[in-house]
């Protein structure tokens, strides 16, 4: 087995602790894995942003202070910090289009999902990609993540506006038209899946539609938390 | 058997019949509408998004057969092959959700999958003919002249390979001038490929002043102009991944150098970038065994340049045993053998260049020596201040520089003594040791720097390196 990141052969070091466990089929080597940072406490209890003490971050406080957005998103759970190594990997995965790279994180995605969400009967909904992006990239990164998790996935959202929004201010972004459209009603609680949680705007827009469309609660799950 | 197999493998995997050949190209009528564009397109293998045309004009070119549409990935019973980079490794292919297989090896240049195509321009392009383009007024030494004549005649003929085995400091750039002069007079397209970007940058002004009327482009990772539309291209080997059957003359500098001999995709790309009929000139100071075998079997013509441009012989390394090198280093001391040599140095005016096997050794040795030599520093491959430190050493701000093998080639300092600590270490192979010894005596004002290998037991690499240097000096005396 070669490491998906650095292409070196992964050597299985037999130690006393793994002597009797089956050999893992991990697709990332120890060296590459050691350069990644798992999200740890203290963090914002809503969006998982790293903080000095546990609590709610300013961004989330702002969302919660607005009547129309309060409680729209229960909480976000992320797996990794967006450090330099992760930025490089995400760039190669998303922008260069090396689809298979996500398989490196299968175990961690499953583990964190189990820890936070396995108690509930959730429907996984990936954040959709525009037709244009989908055509260029050949895959939806959110769906790629969702497919690695052992839970039902349904693509009930579609995108009516493109992804470019970086030039707009926060206020503009928050109050612009919802870029998504709901294709069918949902009755189960939903776990939205995306690659990165940055400002939470995208996920909250999607969550709002889902709640209006019948979802009793909406959570989100992302590979990385930036900022 | 093994060699036969690898020969077979190479001829099989380096099959470029999928690129429209120059014969086929010659028959297609040149299209005046695209004349300014044809220099950019010709000899390239491009993705759709690398061709700056709107869909309508693009489709027009495709349907009028000006562009050949080539599937990017070959499917075989044994697996896949990427035509752009030559990758055949199973673990460097993966598939997209729709099942299309893509190449992971060259993904940094934009992804190619089974569904994508490479586009090649069919019509033949005439390059300007420059008679007597060479404006260089210098004079070649007899050794350089001899090699220059061989290069000239190789370029004059088609399909010839020639290995130029020139010692470090032979002045190989100038030896190319007469041959290039002929090539440009005949309207040939030339590529000089080298493994390192800093060499590309250093060579460009030298060729520009020698051939002021010829358009020359430098292509490397961070060059501004990557269009690659000139009749003379100086490029890092990586840049060749966009070319196919482009050049009439292909010169490969330091053919033995890393990463060229290790990365198969670069050998593949260099082979493909040359036309079927191209003259191929390989330059090296330390050929790899593969080429030495070919020379021995008279399959690869060779010309030796055993003399440095200043006419003096290569400094021959001396061996000094220092069995206690590792032991003393553990106690943060240097072997008395080394200290003794430093005390009794013949010419203490020279700067000192010290090669050590590892980064850790570099740090410790620098630390210890700073007690004796205050003006000392060290460099290694991932040192962020690498280029500043090398420049400071060149400016003589430092008396001594301790380095790993990164400085084994390319860089020259006029007047240094060269020491290798633990020269039996496996990082110092024969080629590395010859290159390292080649750092000494580069200037005509001080042609005899000392080269000392401090070792804990002679290795074959050390002995062979010295034999090769002797052989070259002997050849040089005969000239
Ligand atoms: Zn790795
Ligand atoms: Zn928050
Ligand atoms: Zn490839």
B285-to-A129, A177, B116, B415, B465 alpha-carbon distances in Å: 54, 66, 41, 20, 12
Taking CB atoms and an 8 Å limit, are B94 and A100 in contact across chains?
A: yes
Residue B36 has pLDDT above 80, yes or no: no
**B110 contacts chain A (CB < 8 A):** yes
In this prediction, what percent of chain B has a pLDDT beyond 90?
Answer: 67
Taking CB atoms and an 8 Å limit, are B107 and A138 in contact across chains?
A: no
Taking CB atoms and an 8 Å limit, are B107 and A7 in contact across chains?
A: no
Report pLDDT for A26. 84
For B104, which residue in chain A has the nearest alpha carbon?
A98
For A89, which residue in chain B has the nearest alpha carbon?
B108
> In a 10 Å sphere around its CB, with 0-12 CB exposed, 13-18 middle and 19+ buried, how is residue B84 labelled?
buried
- Closest CB to B104: pick one of A98, A143, A144: A98
In terms of average pLDDT, the best of A167-181, B17-31, B50-64 is B50-64
Mean pLDDT of B95-102: 96
- Closest CB to A96: pick one of B91, B108, B113: B108
Report pLDDT for B14. 77
Residue B452 has pLDDT above 80, yes or no: yes
Q: Quick one: pLDDT band at residue B29, thresholds 50, 70, 90? A: low
Question: What residue ranges do the domains of chain A occupy?
Answer: 40-225
Residue B412 has pLDDT above 90, yes or no: no
- A-chain residues near B98 (CB < 8 A): 138
What distance in angstroms lies between residue B13's CA and the mean position of ligand 3's atoms?
14
Distance CA(B184)–CA(B187), nearest Å, equals 5
* Residue B191 in tokens: 């590529």
Residue B424 has pLDDT above 90, yes or no: yes
- Point out the ligand nearest to the CA of residue A32: 1
**B107 contacts chain A (CB < 8 A):** yes
Contact B173, B253 (CB under 8 A): no
What distance in angstroms lies between residue A45's CA and the mean position of ligand 2's atoms?
7
- A-chain residues near B97 (CB < 8 A): 99, 138-139, 143-144
Q: Which residues of B312-328 are buried (b: 16+ CB within 10 A; e: fewer)?
A: bbbbebeebebebbeeb
Q: How far is B257 from chain A (nearest CA, A)?
A: 22
For A2, which residue in chain B has the nearest alpha carbon?
B91
- Point out the ligand nearest to the CA of residue B242: 3
What distance in angstroms lies between residue A32's CA and the mean position of ligand 1's atoms?
4
Taking CB atoms and an 8 Å limit, are A98 and B96 in contact across chains?
A: no
For A144, which residue in chain B has the nearest alpha carbon?
B97
For B49, which residue in chain A has the nearest alpha carbon?
A136
Ligand 1 is an ion; residues with CB less than 5 A from it? A 3, 5-6, 29, 32
- Point out the ligand nearest to the CA of residue A8: 1
Cα A199–chain centre separation: 13
* B111-136 residue pLDDT tens: 999 999 999 998 888 899 999 999 99
Cα B429–chain centre separation: 18
Report pLDDT for B9. 58
Report pLDDT for B234. 97
Taking CB atoms and an 8 Å limit, are B107 and A99 in contact across chains?
A: no
Mean pLDDT is lowest, of A154-158, B48-52, B362-366, B456-460, for B48-52
For B115, which residue in chain A has the nearest alpha carbon?
A138
What distance in angstroms lies between residue B106's CA and the mean position of ligand 3's atoms?
4
Taking CB atoms and an 8 Å limit, are B110 and A96 in contact across chains?
A: yes
Mean pLDDT is lowest, of A182-186, B182-186, B263-267, B323-327, for B263-267
Say how many Å lie between the first and final Cα of chain A, rounded.
34
For B93, which residue in chain A has the nearest alpha carbon?
A100
Taking CB atoms and an 8 Å limit, are B107 and A92 in contact across chains?
A: yes
Residue A120 has pLDDT above 60, yes or no: yes
SS3 A39: coil
Distance CA(B116)–CA(B22), nearest Å, equals 24
Taking CB atoms and an 8 Å limit, are A138 and B108 in contact across chains?
A: no
Inter-chain contacts counted by CB atoms under 8 A, chains A and B: 34
Q: What is the mean pLDDT of chain A?
A: 89
Report pLDDT for B30. 55
- A-chain residues near B95 (CB < 8 A): 99-100
Cβ under 8 Å to A: B residues 27-56: none
- Point out the ligand nearest to the CA of residue A36: 1
Q: Are strands B161-166 and B274-284 parallel, antiparallel or unpaired?
A: parallel
Distance CA(A166)–CA(B290), nearest Å, equals 54
The chain A residues in contact with chain B (CB within 8 A) are 2, 7, 92, 96-100, 138-139, 143-144
Report the 3 state secondary structure along B1-70: CHHHHHHHHHHHHCCCCCCCCHHHHHHCCCCHHHHHHHHHHCCECECHHHCCCCHHHHHHHHHCCCEEEE
- A-chain residues near B82 (CB < 8 A): none
- A-chain residues near B94 (CB < 8 A): 98-100
Contact A195, A79 (CB under 8 A): no
* B349-377 residue pLDDT tens: 899 999 999 999 999 999 999 988 889 99
Residue B166, H or E segment: strand B161-166
Mean pLDDT is lowest, of A10-14, B4-8, B402-406, for B4-8
Q: Which CATH architecture has domain A40-225?
A: 3-Layer(aba) Sandwich (3.40)
Mean pLDDT of A187-191: 95
Taking CB atoms and an 8 Å limit, are B97 and A138 in contact across chains?
A: yes
- Point out the ligand nearest to the CA of residue A44: 2
* B226-253 residue pLDDT tens: 889 999 999 998 899 999 999 999 999 9
For B98, which residue in chain A has the nearest alpha carbon?
A138
Report the 3 state secondary structure along A97-156: CCHHHHHHHHHHHHHHHHHHHCCCCCEEEECCCCHHHHHHHCCCHHHHHHHCCCCCECCC
* A60-113 residue pLDDT tens: 999 999 999 999 999 999 999 999 999 999 999 999 999 999 999 999 999 999
Among A84, A63, A40, A69, CA closest to A199: A63
Distance CA(B470)–CA(B454), nearest Å, equals 19
* A39-64 residue pLDDT tens: 988 999 999 888 889 899 999 999 99
Contact B147, B306 (CB under 8 A): no
Q: Report angle CA B395, B401, B402 to the nearest 5 degrees.
A: 160
Report pLDDT for B224. 81
- 3-state helix vs strand vs coil in chain B, percent to 5: 35, 20, 40
Report pLDDT for B1. 45
- 3-state helix vs strand vs coil in chain A, percent to 5: 35, 20, 50
Contact A187, A214 (CB under 8 A): yes
Best residue in B48, B85, B94 to probe A by mutation, most A CBs within 10 Å? Answer: B94
**B348 contacts chain A (CB < 8 A):** no
**B97 contacts chain A (CB < 8 A):** yes
Q: Could you tell me the domains of chain B?
A: 15-121 (no CATH), 142-305 (3.40.50.300), 318-477 (3.40.50.300)
Residue B459 has pLDDT above 80, yes or no: yes
In this prediction, what percent of chain A has a pLDDT beyond 70?
Answer: 88
Q: What is the mean pLDDT of chain B?
A: 89
Residue B447, H or E segment: none
Taking CB atoms and an 8 Å limit, are A98 and B98 in contact across chains?
A: no
Report pLDDT for A15. 64
- Point out the ligand nearest to the CA of residue A63: 2
- B-chain residues near A143 (CB < 8 A): 97
Q: How far is A116 from chain B (nearest CA, A)?
A: 28
Report pLDDT for A20. 61
């Amino acid at each position: 087995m070669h490491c998906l990141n650095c292409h070196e052969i992964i050597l299985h070091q037999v130690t006393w602790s793994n002597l009797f466990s089956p050999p893992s089929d991990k697709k990332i080597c120890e060296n590459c894995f050691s350069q990644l940072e798992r999200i740890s406490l203290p963090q914002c209890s809503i969006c998982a942003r790293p903080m000095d003490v546990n609590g709610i971050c300013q961004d989330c406080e702002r969302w919660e202070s607005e009547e129309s957005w309060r409680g729209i998103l229960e909480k976000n759970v992320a797996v990794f910090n967006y450090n330099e190594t992760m930025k490089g990997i995400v760039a190669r995965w998303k922008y260069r289009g090396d689809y298979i790279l996500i398989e490196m994180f299968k175990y961690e995605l499953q583990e964190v999902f189990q820890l936070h969400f396995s108690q509930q009967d959730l429907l996984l909904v990936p954040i959709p990609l525009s037709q244009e992006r989908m055509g260029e990239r050949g895959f939806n990164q959110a769906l790629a993540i969702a497919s690695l998790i052992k839970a039902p996935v349904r693509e009930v959202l579609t995108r009516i506006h493109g992804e470019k929004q970086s030039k707009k201010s926060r206020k503009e972004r928050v109050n612009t038209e919802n870029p998504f459209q709901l294709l069918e009603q949902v009755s189960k609680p939903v776990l939205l899946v995306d690659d990165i949680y940055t400002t939470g705007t995208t996920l909250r827009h999607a969550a709002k539609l889902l709640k209006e469309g019948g979802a009793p609660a909406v959570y989100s799950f992302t590979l990385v938390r930036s900022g | 058997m093994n060699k036969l197999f690898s020969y077979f493998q190479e001829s099989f995997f380096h099959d470029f019949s999928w690129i429209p050949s120059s014969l086929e190209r010659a028959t297609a009528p040149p299209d005046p509408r695209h004349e300014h564009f044809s220099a950019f397109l010709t000899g390239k293998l491009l993705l759709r998004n690398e061709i700056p045309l709107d869909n309508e004009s693009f489709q027009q070119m495709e349907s009028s057969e000006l562009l050949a549409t080539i599937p990017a990935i070959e499917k075989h019973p044994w697996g896949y092959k990427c035509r752009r980079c030559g990758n055949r490794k199973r673990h460097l292919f993966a598939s997209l959700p729709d099942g299309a297989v893509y190449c992971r090896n060259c993904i940094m240049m934009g992804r190619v999958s089974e569904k994508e195509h490479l586009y090649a321009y069919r019509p033949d392009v005439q390059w300007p003919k420059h008679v007597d383009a060479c404006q260089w007024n210098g004079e070649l030494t007899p050794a350089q002249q001899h090699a220059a004549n061989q290069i000239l005649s190789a370029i004059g003929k088609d399909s010839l390979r020639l290995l130029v085995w020139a010692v470090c400091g032979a002045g190989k750039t100038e030896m190319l001038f007469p041959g290039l002069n002929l090539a440009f007079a005949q309207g040939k397209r030339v590529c000089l490929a080298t493994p390192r970007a800093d060499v590309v940058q250093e060579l460009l002004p030298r060729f520009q002043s020698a051939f002021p009327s010829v358009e020359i482009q430098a292509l490397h990772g961070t060059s501004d102009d990557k269009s690659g539309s000139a009749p003379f291209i100086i490029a890092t080997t990586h840049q060749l991944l966009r070319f196919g059957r482009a050049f009439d003359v292909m010169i490969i500098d330091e053919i033995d150098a890393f990463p060229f001999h290790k990365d198969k995709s670069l050998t593949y790309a260099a082979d493909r970038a040359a036309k079927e009929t191209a003259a191929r000139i390989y330059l090296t100071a330390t050929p790899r065994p593969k080429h030495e075998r070919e020379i021995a079997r008279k399959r690869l013509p060779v010309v030796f340049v055993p003399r440095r441009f200043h006419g003096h012989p290569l400094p021959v390394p001396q061996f000094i045993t220092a069995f206690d090198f590792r032991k003393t280093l553990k106690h943060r001391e240097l072997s008395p053998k080394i200290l003794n040599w430093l005390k009794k140095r013949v010419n203490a005016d020279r700067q000192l260049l010290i090669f050590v096997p590892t980064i850790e050794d570099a740090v410790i040795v620098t630390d210890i020596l700073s007690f004796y030599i205050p003006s000392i520093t060290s460099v290694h491959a991932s040192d962020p201040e690498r280029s500043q430190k090398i420049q400071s050493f060149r400016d003589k701000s430092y008396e001594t520089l301790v380095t790993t093998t990164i400085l084994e080639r390319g860089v020259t300092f006029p007047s240094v003594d060269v020491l290798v600590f633990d020269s039996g270490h496996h990082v110092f192979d024969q080629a590395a040791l010859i290159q390292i010894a080649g750092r000494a005596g580069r200037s005509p004002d001080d042609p005899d720097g000392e080269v000392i290998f401090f070792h804990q037991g002679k290795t074959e690499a050390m002995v062979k390196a010295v034999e090769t240097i002797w052989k070259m000096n002997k050849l040089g005396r005969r000239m």
